[in-house]
Amino acid sequence: MKFKKAVFVNIADTHFDKEYWDQLDKLYDQKVLLGRDDPKLMTELKDCDVLCLGFQVPTAKDIFDAAPNLKLINILATAYGTVDLDEVSKRNIPVCNLAGYSTEAVAEFTIAILLYIVRQLDEGVERGKSGNYDFEGMSARELKNSNFGVIGLGSIGGRVAELAAGFGANVSYWSRNKKESQFTYKELEALLAESDYISVNVAQAPETENLLNEKTIPLIKAGAVVISTVPPEVTNTDALATRLAKGDITFVSDHGDEMSKENLDKIKQYSSCMLLPAIGFITAEARINKQEIFVSNMASFLEGKPQNKVN
């Protein structure tokens, strides 16, 4: 069994290695690659039965109305907040994502960038490059015995918690639903107020947008380091800017490329704000996982066993 027509939106030839394109091409009779704003998109959707979406491609009723034969939406990402799940669920169309493909990559990045900050590695490297081997004026903190808060104990948040615990940190978490976990659940307000280090790992969804806002950001413990590896919609930029102006927390995000210039200008002026390219997920291992899961999602659906459904 095959799909009749696959429409790839904001997915380029370079997003897959040849061997994975070869595997994908066996799953459909026809494929079309288009940008979200391409005027030909609506026409191509008329006989499309599988819609393949790149990262953060907005889809709503107009897309689904244009694709009456649509059977599956497959997303080349873990984030699915730009897909109208209520609308697709009404039409019994499963939406599949790449659950877990970059768990290890993002979790290791979180710990790595945290150590980079608290051990002043940037300063040490610069001194060494300049021939200055004096450590006077430098200071550092340890993860052991610190209070480490994880916001969102999914696959990535759970792995961050394990790694932090491995360093000897006292790990607690907040999630929308309590988990069966070795780690202590805390209400969000308490976690923010008590944690020395905070890792933000919630999936972007209507329930998590603006989670860090004008009420919760002021609660963050003075001196805390906040690592956010999630879309910027989770954090209220105005509230963050107000807190950064006080100079008593450090905020890190690897989603600066998704922020508007207006919002970037509000926070990048502060030295305690570190905005990075989207490098949390770019390991060689994650790249392979990404392609394999994407292909598997489509193949499993054709076998009548859809996997990684988010609706």
Per-residue confidence (pLDDT) for residue 98, from 0 to 100: 94
Burial class (CB in 10 A: 0-12, 13-18, 19+), 284: exposed
How far apart (Å, rounded) are the C-alpha atoms in residues 260 and 241?
Answer: 14
**In whole angstroms, what is the distance from residue 96 CA to residue 101 CA?**
13
Q: Tell which CATH classification among 3.40.50.620, 3.40.50.2300, 3.40.50.720, 3.40.50.740 matches the domain 103-275.
A: 3.40.50.720
Cβ proximity of 197 and 221 under 8 Å: no
CATH second-level architecture of 3-101+285-302?
A: 3-Layer(aba) Sandwich (3.40)
For residue 76, pLDDT beyond 90: yes
Q: What is the DSSP letter of 36?
A: T
In degrees and rounded to multiples of 5, residue 59 shows phi and psi of -135, 140
- Integer Cα distance of 44 and 51 in angstroms: 11
3-state secondary structure of 16: coil
Under the banding of pLDDT at 50, 70 and 90, the label for residue 60 is confident
- The residue ranges of every structural domain in the chain are 3-101+285-302, 103-275
The string of pLDDT tens digits covering residues 229-269 is 998 999 999 999 999 999 999 999 999 888 999 999 999 99
Q: pTM of the entire structure? A: 0.86
Alpha helices in 70-119 (DSSP H): 85-90, 103-118
Q: How many angstroms separate the CA atoms of 185 and 179, rounded? A: 8
pLDDT tens for residues 166-202? 999 999 999 999 999 999 999 999 999 999 999 999 9
Q: Do domains 3-101+285-302 and 103-275 have the same CATH topology?
A: yes
Q: What pLDDT, on the 0 to 100 scale, is given for residue 187? A: 97
Give the per-residue pLDDT at 204.
Answer: 78
227-258 burial code (b ≥16 CB/10 A, e <16) = bbbbbbbbbbbebbbebbeeeebbbbbbbbee
